[in-house]
Amino acid sequence: MLKRIDLHIHTNCSDGAMTPKDIIDEAVKNGVSILSIADHDTVDAYSDELFQYAKSKNILIIPAVEISTKIKKCGIHVLGYNFDLHNKTFLDKLKSLRNARHDYLYGVAAKLEELGYVVHTSELDKIEAVTKAHISLDVVNNPDNKEKLLEVFGHIPEKGEFIETIMNEGCPAYVKKNTVTPVEAAELIRLVGGKVVLAHPVAYKYEDNFMSEDTLRLVQEMHADGIEANYIYIDKNNNKINEVNFWNEFAKEHKLKATIGSDFHNKDGLHPVIGFKGEDIRVDEKYIDNLVDWLLN
């Protein structure tokens, strides 16, 4: 059987749909033997029970987190791998970032309501690591917003299209969030012994016109160890964009490790599933073995 690895998966501890245990079961179904749960600004998915369950299913878990950061031009996500899950300074910082998310929620909800949208703010506030995706899904899935959405979009948009049109910087419901810079996130990850990886550079290109020279400057400032080169991006028009070859060459040219991640949130029939099953993306066993050895040492 082809060995599969997926180093970027979300659970319901942030904005994914499945529990951590469900993720393990789904990984088994898809033939994935090595994975990382990389929830937004939280490591709550990880427990002794989860590691034991994964081991019983012959799955290796490499601890991870996805930290939300901000630079002048756009939002940037920084992945950290194989760090100390119990470091108090690290956990306190993640908690402060999650608290900032709730302040952000109330600010965005107020603007969305001014625009005529109905937002279930009190329900969203129960989500510890609430994200733009949670807020967007709440709006687009609410029948009370159907008329407004059709008026603005001409159709019911996907969450990504709603975020890029209504919530991102320069949009009518934009709210600045208290956050950290990519450099600060990288320093925090290194403080707890982790590897630093820039998440999905292809996404910044299409969402924020953040080109390869911008990416190079950023990874140099961060002293990043790698980039998430093996990643399939779905744009706001549901186009599937595969620039894996380009970003692998970029990583090779600039002596960066090329990681692989589906960024799985839920099975929506559009975005890649855990392990990229069914997608045109292949990595050989030697690559996987070298990557895992690097992450663990």
Please state, in angstroms and as integers, the Cα–Cα distance from residue 23 to each residue in 13, 222, 247, following that order.
Answer: 12, 30, 27
- Residues 162, 16 share a domain: no
- Residues 190, 43 share a domain: yes
Total domains present in the chain? 2
Residues facing 34 on adjacent strands: 5, 60
Contact 206, 241 (CB under 8 A): yes
Instruction: Report how far residue 42's alpha carbon sits from residue 218's, in angstroms, rounded to the nearest whole number.
Output: 23
259 SS3 class: strand
What is the model's pTM? 0.84
Expressed as residue numbers, the domain containing 251 is 4-85+180-296
Contact 251, 257 (CB under 8 A): yes
- Residues 151, 208 share a domain: no
pLDDT by position in tens, the chain (length 297): 468 999 999 999 998 999 999 999 999 999 999 999 999 999 999 999 999 999 999 999 999 999 999 898 788 999 999 999 999 999 999 999 888 888 999 999 999 999 999 999 999 998 877 889 899 999 999 999 999 999 999 999 999 999 999 999 899 999 988 889 999 999 999 999 999 999 999 999 998 899 999 999 999 999 999 999 999 999 988 899 999 999 999 999 999 999 999 999 999 999 999 999 999 888 889 999 999 999 999
User: Helix 132-140 and helix 88-114: axis angle, to 10°?
Assistant: 30
Residue ranges of alpha helices (H) inside the chain are 20-29, 48-56, 88-114, 121-124, 132-140, 146-153, 159-162, 182-191, 201-208, 212-222, 244-253, 285-296
- Residues 184, 292 share a domain: yes
- Residues 160, 252 share a domain: no
